[in-house]
Amino acid sequence: MTRPTLLLGQTFVAHGNPLLNPWQDAVQIDSAGAVLIEDGLIRAVGNRDLLRRAHPQAAVQDYGDHLICPGFVDAHVHYPQTAIIASWGKRLIDWLNTYTFPEEVRLADPAYAAEIAARHLDLALDHGTTTLCSYTTIHAHSVDAFFEAAAARRMRTVAGKTCMDRNAPEGLRDTAQSAYDDSKRLLERWHGQGRAGYAITPRFSPTSTPDQLSALGALWRAYPDCLMQTHLSEQPDEIAWVRDLFPDARDYLDTYEAHGLIGARAVFGHAIHLEPREIDRIAESGAALVHCPTSNTFIGSGLMDAAGLAARRITLGLATDTGGGSSFSMLRTMAAAYEIAQLRSTSLHPAQLLWLATAGSARSLHLHDHIGTLAPGYEADLTILDLASTSAIAQRTAGAADIWEALFPTIMMGDDRAIADVWIAGEKRRRKHTT
């Protein structure tokens, strides 16, 4: 047993889903809050004076007016694309061919894969992200590199070998059989080991033959407690390409459904241009969709109807989609989600945005019993937000009428400077600002 630590500050506590219920009933911020952590877990959340009296032996970390949140959960990233983030001027397919695939070829070098995995995770932590769900490359060692780097940082992560057996350059294609065999070996090595979870990962239908999709569907049936992650309906020209490649499919989603790649543990990134049947089937299956707003604007993909999909009781996560996304920051991602919702005539409240980046994303990854919420028994992954991290934010916060109005400028204008501290599995991580 380690000595407990009591963190004092304002606390963000969620009791329900603020996208389905009035946000006032679903979440709250306690201005005199505290979180007791011990042995990597949250032991208590409540009033600071009551918890100090109940636990006089605890070490105290006083964060004053900073906001204690669950660690941010980034539900869709491509760690191999770390070095090419913010590459100029391409639509999705051209962007893949010009930037992504050449960079992923470089990860054939295990040393480079390890370097990029470590770089990505450190950048994520510097921006307050404590859990990520990542794509890798076709190279099995790229999966090992990511999980090894995460284990060294004690981070909870999800990842899987990215499988492609067509429409990709030499050096980035596997086969239906090798995709099955490699993925099986990797998931047996990593799934459930420490804080690692495995996601069976066809990149997207255009880069997998029907045989490969069927093989991965069979693997998922054999290991149903894994996630299955892929891309869906990101851009109209991509959807047209899928139509040409799968002329018998009813729609894009059907290219997965026909091969057993839909279900409650499926996680589809983007999902912007969905047909009514696809929305109905996703809602029926219990699959999750992940909103990637900075990527969708940067690559010109479109405006996801997050509020409309949430109203269908579809589980939504939030993600940077680095490197197609233009920022490692979940704060910037929340801001972009707000802006896209505004363009769709919906105003997302800061309570909803912060919930999406924490509990919502955790639920999309089926990790909601472990992370994403400040509650006893949950893993002590925490992000501490300074609500006056820059002069521009501070002057706006100073005039705020309530805590939500004080939080909103940090969501809209905050960056890594707003991350006062990060705790991973109950241990404080020393931070280094990146800007």
Least confident of 97-101, 130-134, 305-309, 311-315: 97-101
Predicted pLDDT of residue 244: 98
Mean pLDDT of the chain: 96
CATH code at 5-71+372-429: 2.30.40.10
SS (H, E, C) the chain: CCCCEEEEEEEEEECCCCCCCCHHHHEEEEEEEEEEEECCEEEEEEEHHHHHHHCCCCEEEEEEEEEEEECEEEEEEEHHHHHHCCCCCCCHHHHHHHHHHHHHHHCCCHHHHHHHHHHHHHHHHHCCEEEEEEECCCCHHHHHHHHHHHHHCCCEEEEECEECCCCCCCCCCCCHHHHHHHHHHHHHHHCCCCCEEEEEEECCHHHCCHHHHHHHHHHHHHCCCCEEEEEECCCHHHHHHHHHHCCCCCCHHHHHHCCCCCCCCEEEEECCCCCHHHHHHHHHHCCEEEECHHHHHHCCCCCCCHHHHHHCCCEEEECCCCCCCCCCCHHHHHHHHHHHHHHCCCCCCHHHHHHHHHHHHHHHCCCCCCCCCCCCCCECCEEEECCCCCHHHHHHHHCCCCHHHHHHHHHHHCCHHHEEEEEECCEEECCCCCC
Is 2 or 68 the better-scoring residue by pLDDT? Answer: 68
Read off the pLDDT band of 1 (50, 70, 90): low
Is the pLDDT assigned to residue 29 strictly greater than 50?
Answer: yes
Q: Any idea where the domains of the chain sit in the sequence? A: 5-71+372-429, 72-364
- Do 5-71+372-429 and 72-364 agree at the fold level? no
Tell me what pLDDT residue 432 has: 54
Q: Find the mean pLDDT for residues 418-427.
A: 97
Write the class of the CATH domain 72-364: alpha beta
The per-residue pLDDT for 431 is: 58
The pLDDT score that the predictor gives to residue 435 is: 46
Give the pTM: 0.97
Q: What is the mean pLDDT of residues 357-367?
A: 98
Report whether pLDDT(422) > 50: yes
271 pLDDT higher than 50: yes
Q: Which of 32-41, 84-93, 249-258, 412-421 has the lowest mean pLDDT?
A: 84-93
The percentage of residues in the chain with a pLDDT greater than 90, rounded to a whole number, is 94
